[in-house]
Amino acid sequence: MFNTVTIVGVGLISGSFSLALKEKGLAKKVIGVSRTAASAQKALELGLIDEALPLEQAIAQSDLIYVAIPVDVTIPVMKQVMDLVTDKQIVADAGSTKHALCLALNDHPMRRQFVATHPMWGTEYSGPEAAVRDAFVGRACVICEKEKSDPAAVEKIEQVYRALGMHIIYMDADSHDTHAAYISHISHITSFALANTVLEKEREENTIFELAGGGFESTVRLAKSNPAMWVPIFMQNRENVLDVLNEHISQLRKFKACLEKENYQYLQELIENANKIKRIIK
Amino acid sequence: MFNTVTIVGVGLISGSFSLALKEKGLAKKVIGVSRTAASAQKALELGLIDEALPLEQAIAQSDLIYVAIPVDVTIPVMKQVMDLVTDKQIVADAGSTKHALCLALNDHPMRRQFVATHPMWGTEYSGPEAAVRDAFVGRACVICEKEKSDPAAVEKIEQVYRALGMHIIYMDADSHDTHAAYISHISHITSFALANTVLEKEREENTIFELAGGGFESTVRLAKSNPAMWVPIFMQNRENVLDVLNEHISQLRKFKACLEKENYQYLQELIENANKIKRIIK
């Protein structure tokens, strides 16, 4: 499908994307652009990329430029990328927020070459070593502001994500950010806060280590996530995240009130309501 | 090891325990005691038990009586069981709280036949259909008030749990309940509250269904857990759970304050602190 693809950033998402492109035969060559020589070297060693080059040289020989870096640096880097591409090239990002980026690129003369995407897959790990085979499978990929992109570019990007096993959902950038706050960003905050709670209350770390079972691990797993990725997400999606966080704190206060007042009938009802999530996730 | 074992309750824990006993050749026969005929029938069909009997008849022919039912009914049922056993029999429970039960049995004339245990394994499912093979492996089993039990009984129970792949930790009942609040009970409350948050904020359930990725599923998975099991746990461990819940709400308020004041330096520090959980869980 592509002769040469450049990935900007050589980490969890871009690395896994590159492995999938290669495995599916969708790219003959993948070039990596990285701010640090060590990451580029690691990505080469792991076979995530065939070559490491500076941004300009990489773009000059690529059909697709795929940007997957923290969302705060995405905006200036993406402007650089867009200033360098022609209408024969496609640009896509993989960022967890969409409003700020779409707004920043809205009036760029090459806007139609850009497809705003968010493949909703990830793990709590980061860097080239975090890249895995068979990522993305069975998950959703959101495409925002489809109407502002060249239809042929959108179609190619959709073909790639579908070949990777994803299903496509279309949204405007604001809706994406609202939903992402509910579905993804709040889970990370609760997990970070839960880790801090346990680290604060449970001074005997050996005991946590010995006792921690499946429930604890699954709720606290995301607390290992990288602040370099998550602080910018929370900055860019601040209002939505605050809105959901306020609701979450008020939901937790209901549990607190039940326990304080020993109102176990209401506690039962709160849990029964939570059980409705069964309808939604298997 | 045992000729006949009675499991009181035929659900997730007792059913998985029975499957493991049979697979390891630790029991020739397993009798199930259940309040409902339908569960007993299901347990028979699934091969969790060889026979279903009323409590008295079951105890009369058993070497080990293993009680795994919601912690509120555990206390009266355990008193009944203890009134029926001789000093040739061993009794153990699998409850998620230990203080109330140990207190209730403290002066029972057969106290030494009882071993208070909490195998720290579980899933969000319940009932006979939830029982699985290879449960318990690699997890901790807490034994409380070991010194109040007959050493021979403790040794047999430890042998069983070790044969199932568990490691043994000793604690007094109060310490167990404090640690269980940090490691297990708070995770369930955050997960119930997160489910309620998302169900409240996200009225488009189809969107949750389509977007939900690994992070959301892992933090909200426990929200499917059964209120019949969890309300009594929160009742019995009310003070410890309230203590951890208050800490958790105050940790979440720190995240909220960072976002409100746009103090991203402190947000970074909060996340870096949460990352320390890496030292403890792999």
pLDDT above 80 for B4: yes
The secondary element (H helix, E strand) that includes residue B250 is helix B238-261
pLDDT above 80 for B215: no
With beta carbons less than 8 A apart as the criterion, state whether B88 and B64 touch: no
Q: Tell me, what amino acid is at A146?
A: K
pLDDT above 80 for A132: yes
Query: CA of A221, closest CA in chain B: separation in Å?
Result: 8
Structure tokens at B133: 């093979």
Residue B205: closest CA among chain A residues belongs to which residue?
A280
Across the interface, do A194 and B190 touch by the CB < 8 Å criterion?
yes
Average pLDDT value for chain A: 95
Angle separating helix axes A264-275 and A238-261, nearest 10 degrees: 140
pLDDT the model gives residue B200: 87
CB under 8 Å to A177, separation ≥6 — which residues?
Answer: A97, A98, A99, A236, A237, A240
What is the rounded CA–CA span in Å between residue B82 and residue B65? 10
3-state secondary structure of B96: coil
Quickly state the pLDDT bin for A210 (edges 50, 70, 90): confident
Average pLDDT value for chain B: 95
Quickly state the pLDDT bin for A16 (edges 50, 70, 90): very high
Share of chain B above pLDDT 90, in %: 89
pLDDT the model gives residue B115: 98
Quickly state the pLDDT bin for A30 (edges 50, 70, 90): very high
pLDDT above 90 for A212: no
For B15-28, what is the mean pLDDT? Answer: 97
Across the interface, do A211 and B183 touch by the CB < 8 Å criterion?
yes
- State the ipTM, two decimals: 0.93
Structure tokens at B9: 């309750």
Quickly state the pLDDT bin for B203 (edges 50, 70, 90): confident
Quickly state the pLDDT bin for B54 (edges 50, 70, 90): very high
3-state secondary structure of B90: strand
Give B-chain residues touching A243 at CB under 8 angstroms.
201
Give A-chain residues touching B184 at CB under 8 angstroms.
211, 213, 215-216
Q: How far is CA B113 from the centre of its chain?
A: 21
What is the rounded CA–CA span in Å between residue A153 and residue A80? 19
Quickly state the pLDDT bin for B7 (edges 50, 70, 90): very high
Distances (CA, A) of B173 to A198, B116, B118, B225: 20, 9, 10, 24
**How does pLDDT run across B134-178, given as a tens digit for each residue?**
999 999 999 999 999 999 999 999 999 999 999 999 999 999 999
With beta carbons less than 8 A apart as the criterion, state whether B223 and A274 touch: yes
Domain B2-172 class in CATH: alpha beta
pLDDT above 80 for A215: no
3-state secondary structure of A68: coil
CATH fold for domain A2-171: Rossmann fold (3.40.50)
pLDDT the model gives residue B238: 98
Query: CA of B255, closest CA in chain A: separation in Å?
Result: 8
Query: CA of A162, closest CA in chain B: separation in Å?
Result: 15
pLDDT above 90 for A256: yes
- Range A173-183 burial, b when 16+ CB lie within 10 A, else e: bebbbbbbbbb
pLDDT the model gives residue B217: 84
The answer to whether A147 faces chain B, any CB pair under 8 Å, is no
pLDDT above 80 for B189: yes
With beta carbons less than 8 A apart as the criterion, state whether B236 and B72 touch: yes
Q: Which of A183, A251, A262 sits opposite B193 (nearest CB)?
A: A251
Query: CA of B128, closest CA in chain A: separation in Å?
Result: 18
pLDDT the model gives residue B253: 98
Give B-chain residues touching A235 at CB under 8 angstroms.
262, 264
pLDDT the model gives residue A85: 98
Which of 189-208 (B) contact A at CB < 8 A? Answer: 189-202, 205, 207-208
Q: Which of A211, A222, A252 sits opposite B140 (nearest CB)?
A: A211
CATH fold for domain A176-279: 6-phosphogluconate dehydrogenase C-terminal fold (1.10.3660)
pLDDT above 80 for B241: yes
Least confident of A170-184, A199-213, A252-266, B254-268: A199-213
Give A-chain residues touching B212 at CB under 8 angstroms.
183, 280-281
pLDDT the model gives residue A41: 97
pLDDT the model gives residue A264: 97
Quickly state the pLDDT bin for A191 (edges 50, 70, 90): very high
Domain edges within chain A: 2-171, 176-279
Residue A107 CB neighbours (<10 A): 7
What is the rounded CA–CA span in Å between residue A47 and residue A52? 11
Instruction: Write down the residue that tokens 């009914």 correspond to.
Output: B73
Least confident of A272-281, B78-87, B221-230: A272-281
Quickly state the pLDDT bin for B210 (edges 50, 70, 90): confident
Which of B149, B139, B141, B142 lies closest to B171 in space, CA to CA?
B142
A231 phi and psi angles, rounded to 5 deg: -60, -50
Which residue out of B255, B258, B276 would a mutagenesis test of the A interface target, given it has the greatest number of A Cβ atoms within 10 Å? B255
3-state helix, strand, coil in chain A (%, to 5): 60, 15, 25
Contacts across the A-B interface (CB distance below 8 Å): 299
Give A-chain residues touching B199 at CB under 8 angstroms.
273-274, 276-277
Give B-chain residues touching A174 at CB under 8 angstroms.
none
Quickly state the pLDDT bin for A100 (edges 50, 70, 90): very high
What is the rounded CA–CA span in Å between residue A42 and residue B36? 60
Q: Which of B190, B198, B280 sits opposite A209 (nearest CB)?
A: B280
Which residue out of B141, B184, B190 would a mutagenesis test of the A interface target, given it has the greatest number of A Cβ atoms within 10 Å? B190
Across the interface, do A209 and B281 touch by the CB < 8 Å criterion?
yes
Quickly state the pLDDT bin for B88 (edges 50, 70, 90): very high
Which of 110-129 (A) contact B at CB < 8 A? Answer: 120-123
pLDDT above 80 for A213: no
Query: CA of A168, closest CA in chain B: separation in Å?
Result: 9
What is the rounded CA–CA span in Å between residue A92 and residue A143? 10
pLDDT above 80 for A209: no
For B226-249, what is the mean pLDDT? Answer: 97
For A206-227, what is the mean pLDDT? Answer: 84
Q: Tell me, what amino acid is at A195?
A: A
